[in-house]
Each structure stands twice: as C-alpha cells, then as structure tokens.
C-alpha cells in the first residue's frame, strides 16, 4: 500500500511543603491591594516566580498538580489531562494572509484578492514583561506559493504575506457572510480582531519545513497566561509512549487529541512549501488524530514536554492516523540557527549555516535493547565511520572504521545510538565550538576533540 503524505497544513513531602509555603507567599503578595484581595493573582506568574527563585523545577503541568493538591499522585489518564490543559497556553493558531492577482471570473485580470490559510505554532521562547515571543511553525504554514490555482484559474502572488496569531480561547470564532463573487455570498468562519496579535517573519528553512515568527510589544501577550514550551528529548521516545497533539484543527481553533508513538523514527517524502521539490525528512510517527490546520502544532509527552512539531499526515483513506512529527532535538538546532542568523542580519532569513563534520557513517549492526527500569524496547545501532573527507573538520581526527560511542557539545553528552543523531547534533554546533567524540578504535576507546574554528566547516542550508 502506498503511503501518501500531505502537509497538515513526584516530589518528596518536604519539597511539597516548601512548595506550598512558597506559593502562599507569592499569593499573599498579590492580595490586599487597595482593598481588592486577589487582584493581579495569576497561577502561571506564581510558577514563573518560583522557578526563577530556584524553589521549583519542573513543567507547568507538574506545578499545577502539586499546587492544586499536595497529596496528588499521578494516575492513569490524570497526568495527561493536566498536561494538556497546561500546554494549551503554549500553542497558538496562525493565519497567513496574502494577495494574489490574475485569473478571471470574479477576479478579473489585474485585480487582486485576499487568500488566507490557517495553521498552528508553539511558543518557543517568551519575554512576557516586554510582550515578546518567538513562535515555531512549519514553513508551509507561513509560506505563500508564488502562484496558486483557484476554481480552475491561476493567480500570481502580489506582495508580501502578513501573519496573525491567536492564543487559546481568544480566537472569537464566528460565522459571517462573505462576498465570494458578484451578487454571491456564503457563510465563512472568521476570527475576532479583539485579541489578534500580528507577527513578523524571522525566517525559515524550506528544506526542513520549519519557520519562526516573532511577536513584539504585545499587550495581549503581557496580560495572558501564555507560556513557553518545555523541551523534551525526542531521542528517547519509544513505541507505545503516550503523547498528545495540540493544534488549530481544520482552522477551527485550538484542539487536542491523544495517542501513542507508533514509530520512533521513519523518513517520509513531502513536497516543500513551494511545491517544486520533494523533501526526505526524518520524523516520529503518532496515531494521535490530526487534520489540516494542525501543521506547526506540538506533540507533547504525558508530562507536557514538547517532543516535536507536527508537519505531515496521511492522505490515504486506507491509512488512518498516520501522522508525522519533526523531532524536537532536530528542530531546536534549526530554530536557534534561524533566530541567530536573523539577529545578525537584521532581517528575515531564508538560509542558515549548518556544521559539516565531513564523515560518512552507517549502521554496522542494529540490536534490540529492553529497558527493564522503564519497560521500553529500543533499537540501538552501532554507528561506524566509513569515510572521512580530506580537508574537513574531521580530517586527521576520525578514521574509517571508528565506532562512534558518544558526543559532547556545550557540556552535554549524547550517547550515539542511531545514525541520524550525528546529523541532528550538527545543527547545534556554532563556529568556535568544539565537538568532543568518544570512539572505539582498534578495540580501544579514544577521545577526539574536533574544533569548528573555520567558516569552511559550515555550509548554507535553505
């Protein structure tokens, strides 16, 4: 069967007591102002203050569970429900608007009409005091094709697109009569302008189907319960792990679905945003239901940590709920690259630099490993170097037949268990960084430091 892919579009009692006392202190600080007790109290603000003070560490969902009931213990289903509600504050609906001209009929040649499309995004970072945030989404959500076909007629893009986002519960969805042609009207679902937040484009990497938007100086954001996502570890997912998706399903507002990890890693074909190239992108498959409009939304683990960005779903009626997610360990490096490049250039970017190690690796063996502690079955590969390019960053440091055991970057060590991990790690390498590898060579363990001290060790990716 051919599988077609489409863009869619516990803590100790002592810690609990300390937490309760800390919450009480923050709550008291928000009461008794001008005789109006409780004015200004916001539970997420309490979470932020305690986290900043080092009195609590964990996700917002874990904080809520402990705040609401100090004796709370997670039970089947309960943790996911709490996490879903907390994560709603980290997902936005996105609307892209662009004008097109040409064609005929209602829009005669030379005239323009507005085209809009809906998608989702997650709040990657947040400066609530200043009303600023970076939003991560798919490139195909924010990118208007150079031309489109509508009712059999071709139209050409005219001008740059604009972007608007809404936080959960503030979409103000309602139906209005919209003119669709001379003397023709139809009811269409539209959003309220009251809480609409305009965004600017930070940049995108079309070959990775990722994009970044930015909100600046937004009162809506300042006054909201918006929260930045907590990043998870997509390398450690296993088949059967409980997950949930949150996104702007069918463009009808933020909604959540639940499911499991179906496949921990697969590569699927997908047309790029312009439609002129087929991408081969590694992804995680889930059976959590998704619909057009969910693109750019988040897949979270049951503790509310972001595992990836939804980007594709099956269009085959015989293959239901086969939806694919870009792993967060890959996404974070690309997103940081886009943000960094835009800050350097002072404008939106469509190309970023990726570190190139200069080696070819392959999986010499693949084994099954059962994790008794967590009751998970993982696959593990022996990653072996087959070739080292002359003049590359790895030249003279790595050798053919070296077996990669681990990699350390910025003090964080990653065990190398899959051939794709190295490529994803390279997205996080910046010029001046040193990548430390531990390899097995001739039966011995050797440590190799590879400095990325030359711009020649990076290549442009767009």
Chain segment 425-448, per-residue pLDDT in tens: 999 999 999 999 999 999 999 999
pLDDT digits (tens, 9 = 90+) for 338-360: 999 999 999 999 999 999 999 99
Q: Within this chain, do residues 77 and 102 fall inside the same structural domain, yes or no? A: no
Tell whether the model's pLDDT for residue 79 goes beyond 80: no
Q: Within this chain, do residues 114 and 217 fall inside the same structural domain, yes or no? A: yes
Tell whether the model's pLDDT for residue 148 goes beyond 70: yes
Tell whether the model's pLDDT for residue 63 goes beyond 70: no
Helix (H) / strand (E) containing 330: helix 328-345
Q: Within this chain, do residues 42 and 116 fall inside the same structural domain, yes or no? A: no
Tell whether the model's pLDDT for residue 105 goes beyond 70: no
pLDDT value at position 44?
60
Domain count, the chain: 4
125 lies in some domain: yes
Q: Within this chain, do residues 212 and 168 fall inside the same structural domain, yes or no? A: yes
pLDDT value at position 43?
58
323-327/352-355 β-pairing: unpaired
286 lies in some domain: yes
Q: Within this chain, do residues 170 and 237 fall inside the same structural domain, yes or no? A: no
What pTM, to 2 d.p., does this model score?
0.82
Q: Is 338 exposed, middle or buried (0-12, 13-18, 19+ CB in 10 A)?
A: buried
pLDDT value at position 11?
32
Tell whether the model's pLDDT for residue 48 goes beyond 90: no
Residue 135 and residue 213 in contact, taking contact as beta carbons nearer than 8 Å: yes
Tell whether the model's pLDDT for residue 108 goes beyond 70: no
Tell whether the model's pLDDT for residue 455 goes beyond 80: yes
Q: Within this chain, do residues 375 and 299 fall inside the same structural domain, yes or no? A: no
Tell whether the model's pLDDT for residue 73 goes beyond 50: no
Query: Taking all residues of the chain, what is their mean pLDDT, rounded to a whole number?
Result: 84
pLDDT value at position 22?
39
pLDDT digits (tens, 9 = 90+) for 16-40: 323 333 333 333 333 333 333 333 4
400 lies in some domain: yes
The residue-averaged pLDDT of 145-160 equals 82
The residue-averaged pLDDT of 250-267 equals 94
pLDDT value at position 320?
76
Tell whether the model's pLDDT for residue 64 goes beyond 70: no
295 lies in some domain: yes
Query: Which alpha helices (H) appear in 30-72, and where do they start and end?
Result: 43-52, 60-68
75 lies in some domain: yes
Q: Which CATH number belongs to the domain containing residue 455 in this structure?
A: 2.30.42.10
Q: Within this chain, do residues 98 and 72 fall inside the same structural domain, yes or no? A: no
- Write down which residue in 165, 199, 222 finishes a domain: 222
258 lies in some domain: yes
128 lies in some domain: yes
In whole angstroms, give the CA distance from residue 171 to residue 150: 27
pLDDT value at position 315?
64
Q: Within this chain, do residues 63 and 135 fall inside the same structural domain, yes or no? A: no
Tell whether the model's pLDDT for residue 92 goes beyond 70: yes
pLDDT digits (tens, 9 = 90+) for 304-333: 999 999 998 876 666 678 899 999 999 999
The CA distances from residue 159 to 100, 101, 196, 274, in Å, are 8, 10, 21, 16
340 lies in some domain: no
Q: Within this chain, do residues 218 and 102 fall inside the same structural domain, yes or no? A: yes
Name the percent of the chain lying above pLDDT 90: 61
Q: Which CATH number belongs to the domain containing residue 328 in this structure?
A: 2.40.10.10
Q: Within this chain, do residues 278 and 191 fall inside the same structural domain, yes or no? A: no
Q: Within this chain, do residues 389 and 307 fall inside the same structural domain, yes or no? A: no
Task: Say which range, 102-116, 266-280, 310-324, has the weakest mean pLDDT.
Answer: 102-116
Q: Within this chain, do residues 360 and 441 fall inside the same structural domain, yes or no? A: yes
3-state secondary structure of 412: strand
- Write down which residue in 88, 119, 141 finishes a domain: 88
Q: Got the DSSP string for 72-101? A: ----TTHHHHHHHHHHGGGEEEEEEEEEEE
The residue-averaged pLDDT of 124-135 equals 97
pLDDT digits (tens, 9 = 90+) for 1-20: 334 455 665 333 333 323 33
pLDDT digits (tens, 9 = 90+) for 197-206: 999 999 999 9
Q: In which domain, by residue range, is 78 found?
A: 13-88
- Among 353, 355, 348, CA closest to 337: 353
pLDDT value at position 90?
97
pLDDT value at position 244?
96
- Write down which residue in 175, 195, 222 finishes a domain: 222
């Amino acid at each position: 069967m051919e599988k077609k892919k489409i863009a869619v579009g516990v803590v100790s009692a002592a810690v609990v007591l300390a937490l309760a006392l800390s919450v009480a202190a923050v709550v008291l600080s928000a009461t008794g102002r001008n005789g109006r007790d409780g004015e200004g109290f916001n539970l997420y603000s309490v979470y932020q203050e305690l986290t900043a003070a080092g009195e609590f560490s964990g996700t917002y969902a874990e904080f809520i569970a402990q705040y609401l009931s100090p004796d709370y213990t997670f039970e089947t289903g309960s943790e996911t429900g709490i996490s879903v509600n907390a994560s709603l504050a980290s997902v936005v609906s996105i609307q892209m608007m662009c004008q097109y001209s040409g064609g005929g009929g209602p829009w005669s040649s030379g005239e323009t009409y507005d085209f809009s499309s809906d998608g989702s995004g997650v709040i990657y970072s947040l400066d609530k005091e200043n009303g600023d945030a970076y939003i991560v989404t798919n490139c195909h959500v924010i990118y208007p094709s150079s031309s489109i076909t509508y009712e059999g007629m071709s139209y050409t893009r005219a001008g740059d697109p604009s972007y608007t986002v809404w936080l959960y519960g503030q979409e103000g969805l309602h139906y209005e009569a919209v003119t669709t042609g001379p003397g023709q009207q139809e009811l269409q679902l539209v959003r309220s302008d009251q809480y609409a937040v305009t965004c600017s484009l930070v940049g995108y990497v079309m070959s990775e189907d990722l994009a970044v938007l930015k909100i600046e100086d937004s009162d809506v954001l300042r006054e909201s319960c918006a929260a930045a996502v907590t990043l998870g570890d997509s390398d450690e997912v296993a088949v059967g792990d409980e997950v949930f998706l949150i996104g702007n399903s069918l463009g009808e507002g933020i909604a959540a679905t639940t499911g499991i990890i179906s496949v921990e890693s697969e590569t699927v074909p997908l047309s790029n945003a312009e439609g002129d190239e087929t991408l081969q992108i590694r992804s995680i498959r889930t059976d959590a239901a998704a619909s057009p409009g969910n693109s750019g939304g988040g897949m979270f683990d049951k503790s509310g940590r972001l595992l990836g960005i939804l980007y594709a779903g099956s269009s085959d009626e015989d293959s239901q709920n086969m939806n694919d997610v870009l792993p967060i360990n890959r996404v974070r490096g690309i997103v940081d690259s886009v943000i960094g490049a835009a800050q350097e250039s002072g404008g939106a970017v469509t190309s970023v630099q990726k570190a190139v190690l200069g080696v070819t690796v392959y999986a010499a063996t693949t084994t099954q490993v059962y994790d008794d502690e967590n009751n998970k079955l993982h696959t593990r590969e022996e990653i072996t170097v087959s070739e080292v390019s002359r003049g590359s960053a790895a030249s003279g440091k790595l050798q053919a037949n070296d077996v990669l055991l681990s990699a350390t970057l910025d003090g964080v060590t990653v065990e190398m268990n899959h051939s794709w991990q190295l490529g994803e790690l390279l997205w996080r390498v910046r010029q001046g960084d040193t990548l430390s590898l531990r390899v097995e060579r001739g039966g011995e363990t050797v440590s190799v430091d590879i400095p990325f001290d030359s711009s020649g060790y990076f290549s442009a990716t767009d």
